[in-house]
Amino acid sequence: MNFTETDEQVALRAAVADLGRKYGYAYFTRQARTGGRLTELWQEAGALGFIGVNLPAEYGGGGAGLYELSIVLEELAAAGCGLLMMVVSPAICGTILARFGTPEQKQRWLPKIASGSAIMAFGITEPDAGSNAHKLTTVATRDGDSWVLTGRKIYISGVDEAEAVLIVGRTADSKTGTLRPALFAVPTDAPGFSFQPLEMDVLMPEKQHLLFLDEVRLPADALVGEEGAALLQLFAGLNPERIMASAMAVGSARYALAKAVGYAKERTVWSVPIGAHQGLAHPLAQVKIELELARLMMQKAAVLYDAGDDMAAGEAANMAKYAAAEASIRVVDQAIQSLGGSSMTSEVGLAAMLANVRTTRIAPVSREMILNFVAQHSLGLPKSY
Tell me the C-alpha distance between 129 and 139, whole Å.
13
DSSP annotation of 90: I
Q: Which CATH architecture has domain 7-118?
A: Orthogonal Bundle (1.10)
pLDDT for the residue 180:
83
Encode the chain (385 residues) as per-residue pLDDT tens digits: 678 999 999 999 999 999 999 999 999 999 999 999 999 999 999 999 999 999 999 999 999 999 999 999 999 999 999 999 999 999 999 999 999 999 999 999 999 999 999 999 999 999 998 878 778 999 999 999 999 999 999 999 999 999 999 999 998 765 666 778 899 999 999 999 999 999 999 999 999 999 999 999 999 999 998 776 667 788 888 999 999 999 999 999 999 999 999 999 999 998 999 999 999 999 999 999 999 999 999 999 999 999 999 999 999 999 999 999 999 999 999 999 999 999 999 889 899 999 999 999 999 999 999 999 999 999 999 998 7
pLDDT for the residue 227:
75
Dihedral sign from CA coordinates of 23, 26, 27, 28 = positive
pLDDT for the residue 133:
74
Tell me the C-alpha distance between 62 and 166, whole Å.
22
b or e along 27-56 (b: 16 or more beta carbons within 10 Å of the residue's beta carbon)?
Answer: bbbebbeeeebbeebbeebbeebbbbbbbb
Q: Residues 90, 73: contact at Cβ < 8 Å? A: no
pLDDT for the residue 135:
85
Q: Residues 129, 137: contact at Cβ < 8 Å? A: yes
Q: What are residue 126's DSSP bridge partners?
A: 130
Q: What is the largest CA-CA distance in the chain?
A: 80
Enumerate helices (H) and strands (E) in the chain, giving the number of each. Answer: 11, 10
pLDDT for the residue 173:
67
* Nearest C-alpha neighbor of 356 from the set 248, 199, 200, 202: 202
pLDDT for the residue 253:
98
DSSP annotation of 126: B
pLDDT for the residue 264:
98
SS3 141: strand
CATH code for the domain defined by 122-225: 2.40.110.10
Tell me the C-alpha distance between 327 and 22, whole Å.
27
Whole-Å CA distances, 239 to 95, 301, 376:
10, 9, 17
Q: Which CATH architecture has domain 231-378?
A: Up-down Bundle (1.20)
Burial class (CB in 10 A: 0-12, 13-18, 19+), 220: exposed
Between strands 208-219 and 179-187, the pairing is unpaired
Residue ranges of domains in the chain: 7-118, 122-225, 231-378
